[in-house]
A = this chain, B = another copy of it.
Amino acid sequence: MAHKEILAAALLTDADLTGGALEVNSPIDGALLGSLATHSVSDVQAMIAQAKSAFNAWKLVPAPRRGELIRLFGEELRTAKEELGALVTLECGKILQEGLGEVQEMIDICDLAVGQSRQLFGLTIASERPGHTMRETWHPLGVAGVITAFNFPVAPFAWNFALAIVCGDPVIWKPSEKTPLSAIATARIFEKAVKRFGEAPEGLLQVAIGGGEIGEVLTTSRDVALISATGSTRMGKIVGPKVAERFGKTVLELGGNNAMIVAPSADLENAVRAIVFSAVGTCGQRCTSLRRLIVHADVREELVERLKGVYAKLPIGDPLAHGTLVGPLIDADANTSMKKALEQAKAEGGTVTGGGKAEGVTGGYYVHPAIVEIPRQTDIVRHETFAPILYVMTYRTLEEAIILQNDVPQGLSSCIFSTDVRETEIFLSAAGSDCGIANVNIGPSGAEIGGAFGGEKETGGGRESGSDAWKAYMRRQTNTVNYSRELPLAQGIKFEI
C-alpha cells in the first residue's frame, strides 16, 4: 500500500498534513508524510483549562458508565485495526506485525478497563471503636498528561488512556514529535466512540503536537494532576523533579537495559527464537529490547554460533512488506548512536559481528543487527543504546550471572532461560533480578496487560496497565464514620472537657 493510501485509510486529511512547521518523515524511505501545525504554549494552557472543566463533569459520571465509553472505543479500534496498524508502521518503521500488535494491545486494555470500571474497589475496614465504620474509597484524580515515545506510538498511550478515562481523568496526550500522525488518527477513532456514547464532556482527549515546550507546560502546571511519561532516563530526570516540586504525581517508564541469562539446561531452540525476536524486533528500539546476553560458559559457543547463523539471514527491509523482520532505525541520530556504540564497544574489548549498513535497501537507515562479544560488563554495555546491539557475556555460577544482570543503572526487564526450577525461582526471588519484569523461558518482553508494566531504578518506578496500576489515576480517601451518639477517641485517649 502506498503511503498516501495508508494516511487516507487512517482518515488523515490534507488539513491535518499540511501548513505547519513540524515535518514528519517515514523512516521507511524518508518520505515526507506531512508538515503539521504545532501547538503553542497558550494552546496547551487552553487544553488544560478545557480538560479541567471536563474533569469536573466526568468525575461525577458513574465509573461503569465511563467504562461504556471505553468499550465503544475498543469496538472502534477493532474496526480500525488494520488501518491504524499500518500507520504505526509507516510512521515509526516497526514491521506491520508489530504495528498490528500495538493496536491489539490497545484493544486488550480497553477490554480490561471496561471490566475494571466496575471493580475500582476500595476497602471497608473494621474500626476499633464501637459505632464507627471505616472505608477507603478511590476518587478520580484530575487531568492526566500522557507523554509517549516514538517507538510505541499508540499502545502505551492506550494503557494510560483507557484506565484514566475509566477512573474519571481527562487526558492531554503529547505524542513524540516523530509520530504525531498515529496520535491524531487515534484521537479520531476515539471521537467516533464519543459520538456513539452521546453525552461525554468536551476534552476527554486532547492531542498536543510539538516538542519539549509542551512537555514543560504539562509538567509544571498544577492543574495536571498526573504526568505519565514514557521516554528516556534523561527526560525522566527532568520531569520527575518538576512534578515533585508541585506535588503532582508521576508514572515514569524510562530506559531499560534488559538482559537474558541462558543456563546450561536451557532449551536453546526456544532461547534463540526469544533472543532474536527481542534483540532485533522493532530494530532494537523497544524499551524492552534485549541488549545483554549472559550465557553460561558451557553453552555459549553453541548459542552464539546459532545466533550468528540466524542473524546472517535476517530479512531486513521495508517493514510493510510481508516477511520482513527488521525494519529501519527511526532516523539518522539513531544510526549515529549505533555506530558510536559499536566503536566504543570495540575500544572496550568487544568483538562485533554485523552492525553495518544493510545492503540493497535505501531511503531509510537500515542496519544489520549487531552481536558484540565482550569480556566484561563495560560502560557501553551498562548504557542503553537504542539500536539492535546485543552484548554477549559469559558466566559460570548463577550468582555471578545475577550480579551481572543487576549491575546496570536501569531496572526494566530481565529473563532467564533455564529448565531448572531451583534456578528459575531464585531468579524470581528477592535474591534474583532487581527488575520490574522478570521472565522465565520467554524474552524480556513486558507482561500481558493483566500484569503491571514498568521497572525499577532508572526505569522510573512507574507501573501501567494491569494489576492495581489503575490506582495511579485515582486519589485515595480514608473515611471514618461515627454513627454512634458518643465520641470516643482512638488509642484509648481520654480528653474530657
Contacts and interface: CB of A to CB of B under 8 A. Distances in A.
A97 B495 contact: yes
A76 B442 CA distance: 36
Contact of A247 (B242, B276, B460): B460
Interface residues of A, number: 132
A246 B429 CA distance: 25
Contacts of A419: 420-422
A310 interface: yes
Contact of A136 (B67, B124, B492): B124
A137 B452 CA distance: 11
Nearest to A431: B60
Interface of A: 59-65, 67, 71, 97-98, 100-102, 104-105, 108, 111-130, 132-140, 168, 236-237, 240-245, 247, 249-250, 252, 267, 270, 272-274, 276-277, 281, 310, 314, 325, 418-422, 424-426, 428-431, 433-442, 445-453, 456-461, 463, 466-468, 475-487, 489-495, 497
A474 to B, nearest CB: 9
Nearest to A273: B487
A487 B128 contact: no
Contacts of A252: 247
A359 to B, nearest CB: 19
Main secondary structure of the interface of A (DSSP, over half): mixed
Say how many copies of this protein the assembly contains.
Answer: 4
B115 A126 contact: no
A480 B133 contact: no
A490 B240 contact: no
A486 B438 CA distance: 19
B325 A497 contact: yes
19 contacts: A63-B128, A104-B492, A114-B114, A116-B119, A118-B466, A119-B125, A121-B123, A124-B135, A124-B136, A125-B451, A272-B497, A418-B421, A421-B483, A422-B484, A425-B481, A429-B483, A437-B480, A445-B489, A447-B479
B494 A450 contact: no
A121 B124 contact: yes
A244 to B, nearest CB: 4
Contact of A448 (B111, B422, B480, B494): B480
A475 B449 contact: no
B121 A111 contact: no
A244 B244 contact: yes
Nearest to A59: B430
Contacts of A452: 136, 476, 478
Contacts of A100: 493
Given A276-B497, A428-B477, 15 more contacts: A62-B126, A71-B111, A101-B489, A118-B450, A125-B447, A133-B429, A135-B428, A237-B245, A243-B244, A247-B252, A274-B487, A421-B424, A421-B441, A437-B479, A452-B478
